[in-house]
Amino acid sequence: MVRTHRWFTPWIMVLPALVILCVFALWPAVNTFFLSFTDVRTLSGGTIVGLDNYRKLVDDPQLRAALVNTVVYVVVCVPLLTFLPLLLAILAEKPLRGLAIFRTIFYFPVIASAVAVAVIWKFLLDDRGLINGWATHAGIIQDAVPFLSGRWLLLFSAISLTVWKGLGYYMVLYLSALGNVDPQLHEAAAVDGAGPIRRFWSVTVPGVRRTMVLVAILVMVSAMRIFTELYILGGKTGGVGGQDVSVVFLIQSSASGADGRLGYASALSVLLFVMTLPPMALLARFNRKVDE
């Protein structure tokens, strides 16, 4: 048998991808880890300070607020973005009139820019925005509801924006999973007297369980890295008093400006990486079980 290629031919084919991986992923990660042990600033050099940046993390009250916000974000977003898209996908499968418009409405936020969507929500939720203006005009409220200035109201406004924007994307994943559920199982359950709710929990949910786990983990990691919604709705300070910030928000604010603390921002980046490790390890284990 005549060999048609040399031993290094496969390496040449993957070389561009390896170069891109090393330049834009591995090297920045290694450099960030190294900078986390220094006090480097944007326009000045620095020295190695050991674990000082990590000690500052423990004493940083704004980081504690960011971690609380992140936990709330994860706890609220994971169940909502795991079950609501599944219910929408079940409705989207029905032969209803105007189904194409229904799908388009829920998928439109996915293709729209996150910044553009957040600006629209800011217009709606502002003290002089559409919702407060309508409620005041209708006599429902006397004073404007501080959607964008109250700590928890701002946080839940950002969460509602994240949920609304993610519904269409995860609905498509569930539509694909629902196509693999045997319709005869639904027919057999219906013959046995099971109603729609019983069939949902006994047939639909077990049939899309793998997709539900995947969606939950993806939502969890995305919630930990939330930034755009809080930045647009709360401004560059992260709401009144900087209480509505996330870890990514703190990384951006710490590293920005001519006197940005790159060393401290790197320590925050390492912390965020460690936070995302458990769900990513769970996802890897889940994928390995699926392959088996």
Please report, as a single letter, which amino acid is at residue 287.
Answer: N
- Averaged pLDDT score across all residues of the chain: 86
Q: How far is CA 228 from CA 139, 231, 238, 274, in A?
A: 33, 5, 11, 21
What CATH number is given for 48-289 in this structure?
1.10.3720.10
User: Of 291, 284, 94, 290, nearest to 178 (Cα)?
Assistant: 94
For residues 204-222, give the mean pLDDT. Answer: 89
pLDDT higher at 59 or 241: 59
Q: How far apart are CA 148 and CA 50, in angstroms?
A: 39
Q: How far apart are CA 31 and CA 39, in angstroms?
A: 14
**pLDDT value at position 292?**
66
Q: How far apart are CA 4 and CA 76, in angstroms?
A: 56
Q: How far apart are CA 242 and CA 262, in angstroms?
A: 20
**pLDDT value at position 22?**
93
**pLDDT beyond 80 at 104:** no
Helices then strands, each counted (H, E), the chain: 15, 0
**pLDDT beyond 60 at 93:** yes
The tokens describing 292, both together, are: 């088996």
Question: What phi and psi values does residue 49 have, to the nearest 5 degrees?
Answer: -115, 10
**pLDDT value at position 216?**
92
Cα 16 to its chain centre, rounded Å, is: 29
Q: How far apart are CA 123 and CA 133, in angstroms?
A: 11
**pLDDT value at position 64?**
92
pLDDT digits over 122-140, tens only?
A: 888 888 888 888 888 888 8
Q: What is the pTM of this model?
A: 0.82
**pLDDT value at position 219?**
92
Task: Determine contact, residues 239/154, Cβ cutoff 8 Å.
Answer: yes
Which residue shows structure tokens 């994860």? Answer: 74
For residues 34-46, give the mean pLDDT. Answer: 86
**pLDDT beyond 90 at 235:** no
DSSP string for residues in 36-85: TTB--BTTB---B-TTHHHHHHHH-HHHHHHHHHHHHHHHHHHHHHHHHH
